[in-house]
Amino acid sequence: MMKIEAIIQPSRFDSVKEALLEIGIEGMTVTEVRGHGRQKGHTEVYRGREYTVDLLPKIKLEMVLADALVNRAVEAILKSAKTGKIGDGKIFLSRIEEAIRIRNEERGEGAL
Amino acid sequence: MKWMGVVCCCLMILVLTAFPLRAQQSPSSTAPPASTATPEVPQAIAEKLNQLEQKATAAQSSADNAWMLVSAALVLLMTGPGLALFYGGLVRQKNVLAIMMQSFALMALITVLWALVGYSLCFSGSGPVIGNFEHAFLRGVGALPNPDYAGTIPQTTYMIYQLMFAIITPALITGATAERMKFSGTVLFMTLWFLVVYAPMAHMVWGKGGFLNASQGGRFPTLDFAGGTVVHITSGVSALVCALYLGKRTGYPKQPMPPHSLVLSIIGACLLWVGWFGFNAGSALASNSLASSAFVATHFGAAAAAMGWSLAEWIKNGRASALGAISGAVAGLVAITPAAGFVGPMPALAIGFIAGVFCYWMVTRFKAMFGYDDALDAFGVHGAGGTIGALLTGVFAQAAFNPIFGQGKAVGGLDGRWGQVGNQLVGVLIAWCIALVGTIVPLKLVDLLTGLRVHEEHEIAGLDISLHGEEGYNLES
């Protein structure tokens, strides 16, 4: 079992969700986050005072998948989240030790 | 491109000020004519005429009272929620309740002080500087009009109308001390400030015998229709003193502290604009053509100032901002406050425009030059706007709109009486002095008694949770 953590542009979220649905992935956790890598922010001016806003809004997607699905999921995210510009985001993969469904206490890949 | 805009502004001001020279407004309403029954007219007709006269007077009184009660409500609306929202949106989320609470608390506190001694100190007796205790506990304030002030409405109405001014004035100061002032300190300080600054200033400008009273023969008649000096200069200058005394907010100016909700501020600014009709047009103290004139001047001042500020911003930053537009409108409303019942519509546009540009400069360049932390620009908008408005009132006032010195007597510069600008300056300087002295002493006193500034940890955690044990938004729950 692998966890995919993808930080993407908010404007790409809908396409990524659809692309994942197309390959059969329905379960995910979505959070609105702020951050930046090398992307520059923007400047806001309030009554003559300038503020550089360098924490930019992003969407973080988290999903735990069976090993067999991971590569297809990563491909789908890459294809749909990419705009080619700085600020597109990153995907992180990590190994998951155990998954448990709360409803019936099922464990392992069957719980995903 | 940039200086073309400046040239256009100058031309506009010149054009607008040319128009008032052709003002044709009729003067404010005069008292109904005395009964003119001659001995030859039968008794019955004389009686009938008398009755009709009384009815006409009663009808006018009724109209005046209705308008004045509505105006009083409008002015209270300016504080709650107008100012509360305007300021509330400008502070950081963690301090939104604290700033709104200050306005709300003053609605309660000043009301009680007013009822006990405030009204009396402002509007009884005929001393040059302050009133007496004749009307303490509102003794003698009832359905009968007070002929010294508003002869057609119950004194109760006059009293409650004036109270709303007394409420909003200290509330304006909270803008300078925002995000770092103790609530206990606020309550104590505002009580003292009200007694030491507001009451004397209100009495001097509007009270019988007042040193600066233009309509009742004051020594240096200062034209201040609705409180440019009494309300805005005093609060604005006090705000500056408070800001300097308290010091800058932790992290200012390096740490970004943008408004947490300009949406709230815009709503507040609109409520202020509408409420200001009660503030200015209501200062006619009657439902008459002067009220109409002041209403129009108020509205035009706000509009032109919003445009002035926005234009200045557009030239400087390449775009107009929402915060700039609403700040401009408020600055215009402040500046037109002393002038509203004395100037025509075209000068109102000019005054507004000038105030919009001037206050923009005060809030951006002037503040940056001296580096004080007037958090919500109470001085930059109210102090500066009130000052420029009071001076411009001397320039643009005309007897055609309000023959305050008597029928046919010149009032301001456009009437040829340029000395009035000098009188305005005296009034302005006195307002500044009273505000300066009357603020620094209570500040020091309250600092010794309760302390003024919150602890740094409280300031960083946020005043809402530290001072009031509450959070403004519990959106997760």
**Which backbone phi and psi does A59 adopt, to 5 degrees?**
-115, 135
pLDDT at A48: 86
Q: What is the 3-state secondary structure (H, E, C) of A38-91?
A: CCCCEEEEECCEEEEECCEEEEEEEEEECHHHHHHHHHHHHHHHCCCCCCCEEE
pLDDT category, B149, cuts 50, 70, 90?
very high
Tokens of B434: 């009273």
User: What tens digit of pLDDT does each residue of B330-342 get?
Assistant: 999 999 999 999 9
Query: Residue B312 CB: number of other CB atoms within 10 A?
Result: 24
B31-66 pLDDT per residue, tens? 444 455 556 668 999 999 999 999 999 999 999 999
Do strands A56-65 and A49-53 pair parallel, antiparallel, or not at all (unpaired)?
unpaired
| CA-to-CA dists, residue B464 to A110, B92, B263, B467, angstroms | 48, 10, 20, 6
The residue of chain A nearest to residue B318, with distances taken between CA atoms, is A45
Task: Give the sign of the dihedral formed by CA A59, CA A60, CA A65, CA A67.
Answer: positive
Nearest to B317 among A45, A51, A52 (CB): A45
Direct distance between the N- and C-terminal alpha carbons of chain B, in angstroms, rounded to an integer: 52
HSE at residue B67, side-chain half, CA atoms within 13 A, is: 25
Q: Hey, which CATH number is domain B60-468, 1.10.3430.10, 3.30.230.10, 3.50.50.60, 3.20.20.70? A: 1.10.3430.10
Closest residue in A to B252 (Cα–Cα): A49
Asked if A42 is an interface residue toward chain B (Cβ–Cβ < 8 A), one would say no
* Residue whose entry in the numeric block shows the structure tokens 């009220």: B291
Q: How confident is the model at residue B111 (pLDDT cuts 50, 70, 90)?
A: very high
Residue of chain A with shortest Cα separation from B375: A47
Identify whether the C-beta of residue B262 lies closer than 8 Å to the C-beta of residue A45. no
Tell me the β-bridge partners of A42: A53
Q: Which of A47, A48, A51 sits opposite B256 (nearest CB)?
A: A51
Q: What is the pLDDT of residues B391-413, one digit of tens each?
A: 999 999 999 999 999 999 999 99
Quickly state the pLDDT bin for B6 (edges 50, 70, 90): low
Chain A CB contacts of B363 below 8 Å:
47-48
If we measure between CA atoms, which residue out of B42, B68, B233 comes closest to residue B153?
B68
Interface with A, mutate which of B86, B321, B373 (most A CBs under 10 A): B321
CB of B215 closer than 8 Å to CB of B404? yes
N residues, chain B: 477
The answer, for B236 touching chain A at a CB cutoff of 8 Å, is: no
* CA nearest to A50 within chain B: B256
| Min Cα separation B105/chain A (Å) | 28
pLDDT value of residue B476: 84
Give the mean pLDDT of chain B. 93
Contact check, Cβ <8 Å, B363/A48:
yes
What is the rounded CA–CA span in Å between residue B325 and residue B1?
Answer: 21
Question: Do B327 and A44 count as a contact with CB atoms less than 8 A apart?
Answer: no
Domain total in chain A = 1
Q: Work out the minimum CA distance from B216 to partner chain A, whole angstroms.
A: 41
Burial of B317 (0-12, 13-18, 19+ CB in 10 A): middle
Q: Out of B253, B256, B377, whose CB is closest to A47?
A: B377
When CB atoms are compared, the residue of B258, B259, B368 closest to A48 is B368
- B86-118: buried (b, 16+ CB within 10 Å) or exposed (e) per residue? bbbbbbbebbbbbbbbbbbbbbebbbebbbebb
Q: What is the CA radius of gyration of chain B?
A: 23
Q: What is the CATH number of the domain that holds A41?
A: 3.30.70.120
Which chain A positions have a beta carbon within 8 Å of B321's beta carbon?
A: 45-46
Which residues from B are below 8 Å from A42, CB to CB? none
B1 band by pLDDT with thresholds 50, 70 and 90: low
Please give the backbone phi and psi of residue B96, each rounded to the nearest 5 degrees, phi first. -65, -40
- Across the range B469-473, mean pLDDT stands at 97
Residue B19: how many other CB atoms lie within 10 Å: 14
Q: Yes or no: say if A10 and A31 are a contact pair by the CB < 8 Å rule.
A: no
Say whether the peptide bond before residue B259 is cis (omega within 30 degrees of 0).
no
How far are the Cα atoms of B62, B134, B147, B221, B440 from residue B215, in angstroms, in the given order?
24, 22, 13, 8, 31
- In this prediction, residue B31 carries a pLDDT of 44
Report the distance separating Cα B107 and Cα B167, nearest Å. Answer: 6
The number of angstroms, rounded, from the C-alpha of A6 to the middle of its chain's C-alpha atoms is 3
**d(C-alpha B386, C-alpha B330), whole Å:** 11
Average the pLDDT over B415-424 and give the result. 95
Q: What does DSSP assign to residue B412?
A: S
- In order of B258, B362, B371, B468, the CA distances from B88 in angstroms are 12, 22, 23, 15
pLDDT value, residue B158: 98
- Angstroms from B127 CA to nearest CA on chain A: 43
Do the beta carbons of residue B27 and residue B283 sit within 8 Å?
no
Q: Tens digit of pLDDT for each residue in B183-226? A: 999 999 999 999 999 999 999 999 999 999 988 878 889 999 99
pLDDT of residue A14: 96
Task: Report d(CA B21, CA B19) in Å as an integer.
Answer: 5
B117-131, B195-209, B212-226, B364-378, range with the lowest pLDDT = B212-226
Of B262 and B7, the structure prediction assigns the larger pLDDT to B262
B312 neighbors B356 (Cβ within 8 angstroms): yes
Domain boundaries, chain B: 60-468
Q: Is B140 on the interface with A (CB under 8 A)?
A: no
φ and ψ at B439, to 5 degrees? -100, -45
3-state secondary structure B377-398: CHHHHHHHHHHHHHHHHHHHCC
| Residue B437: half-sphere exposure toward Cβ, Cα within 13 Å | 8
CB pairs under 8 A between A and B: 24
Q: Is A93 helix (H, G, I), strand (E, B) or coil?
A: strand
Q: Considering only alpha carbons, which residue of chain B is nearest residue A52? A: B256
Q: What percent of chain B stands above pLDDT 70?
A: 91
pLDDT at residue B33, as a whole number: 46
Provide the residue count of chain A.
112
The pair of three-digit structure tokens given for residue A106, joined into one six-digit string? 């099922």
Q: Which of B226, B239, B253, B163 shows the shortest CA–CA distance to B199?
A: B163
Render pLDDT for A18-75 as a digit per residue (tens, 0 to 9). Answer: 999 999 998 899 999 999 888 888 889 999 888 888 889 999 999 999 999 999 999 9
Better pLDDT: B373 or B477: B373
CB B225 within 8 A of CB B338: yes
| CA angle, residues A96, A102, A105, in degrees to nearest 5 | 85
On the question of pLDDT at B9 being above 80, the answer is no
With tokens 């209570």, the residue in question is: B442
- Among B11-15, B91-95, B107-111, the minimum mean pLDDT is found in B11-15
What's residue A41's pLDDT? 83
Range of the domain at A86: 2-111
Confidence of residue B351 (pLDDT cuts 50, 70, 90): very high
ipTM of the complex: 0.76
CB B271 within 8 A of CB B73: no
- What is the rounded CA–CA span in Å between residue B26 and residue A96? 85
Q: Mutate one of B323, B330, B369 to test the A interface: name it (highest A CB count within 10 A).
A: B323
Specify the 3-state DSSP secondary structure of B358.
helix
- pLDDT band for position B2 (cuts 50, 70, 90): low
Measured CA angle at B198 (ends B196, B199), to 5 deg: 75
In A, residues 48-107, which contact B (CB 8 Å cutoff)?
48-49, 51-53
